[in-house]
Copies of this chain bind each other. A is one copy, B any other.
Amino acid sequence: MLPKITDRRSASLLVSAPAQALAGASADLDPLALSTGSDEATRRAPGHEGRDPFSRKLSTCVDLTAGDLRELERLAATGRRFPAQTPLLHQSDVPENAILVLDGFACRYKYLTNGRRQITAYLVPGDLFELDLDYRLPLDCALGTLTACRLAVLPRPDYEDLLRRRPRIARALQMMRLTEAAILREWITNLGSRSGPERLAHFLCEMLLRLRTTGLASDNQYSFPITQADLADTLGMSCVHINRVLQKLRRDGLIELSGRRLTILKPEGLKTLAEYDASYLEPAAIPLRPCVSDRPAA
């Protein structure tokens, strides 16, 4: 009966006492969750623009300078480990840190009083949980880890400093915000207009493409250490029904899911089922076209 993240009323991690979060963190990690993660992917990318997922992602739409990359590298080096299912920020907290996902999955979520939980966004490696600009606003969603994660915690002053000193990074982040909003709209469509199998297929396609931009999904397969209960909270279905829908996709030979690793056997079939059109993710994937702020001021 109790939701997985049990202590909803305890003081949030990362709000005032980030050290507290670290206390019991490095201990009970799920080895599977990390074994195929970015640690590995990072090592095998020698000539790439950046080694950490964040600079990889930003590099897809902005040419980062050597200075930018060095900065991001330093940031990535501060990553700390957090166990799965850990609440990081509560709803109505006023966050004091930006949080960068280096490895594993985190999410935004809301609880309703009827006990249901709705996940409203996934944060995958390379995604940044941003402070809402410089406004000090309470969060409308909680934030927590789904799997074991490696996160870089960036205090507000440092975050603001980074944006000020690194205009290209700031620009790339603006782009990311557009993509984020597009993803939210896509999720609304998904929840409102698609059947169970279509919905799941769409979600799996999205994850594939998002993980690909940081090199975490080659060969149409990726590490997928997500609980079926979490999937249910993501897609607005019951846990039992998720199970049956998964089985249907397996039975139809579209996917294979075993050992916390997802393989998409028929990418085209899955895409067709989901009616998947990836263009909403493109802002993050295509290089910037000429735009106003690159021109000399009028």
Contacts and interface: CB of A to CB of B under 8 A. Distances in A.
A184 B121 CA distance: 11
Contacts of A283: 132, 135, 137
A16 interface: no
Nearest to A280: B140
A177 B174 CA distance: 12
A271 interface: no
A134 interface: yes
A135 B180 contact: no
A141 interface: yes
Interface stretch (A21-29, A77-85, A210-218, A284-292): A284-292
B180 A181 contact: yes
Interface size class of A (residues with CB under 8 A): 35 or more
B193 A236 contact: yes
Contact of A135 (B189, B193, B291): B291
Interface in A155-190: 157, 160, 174-175, 177-178, 180-182, 184-189
Interface stretch (A31-39, A96-104, A112-120, A261-269): A112-120
A112 B189 contact: yes
A240 B116 CA distance: 26
A69 B113 CA distance: 43
A17 interface: no
Contacts of A6: none
A258 interface: no
B137 A178 contact: yes
Nearest to A235: B192
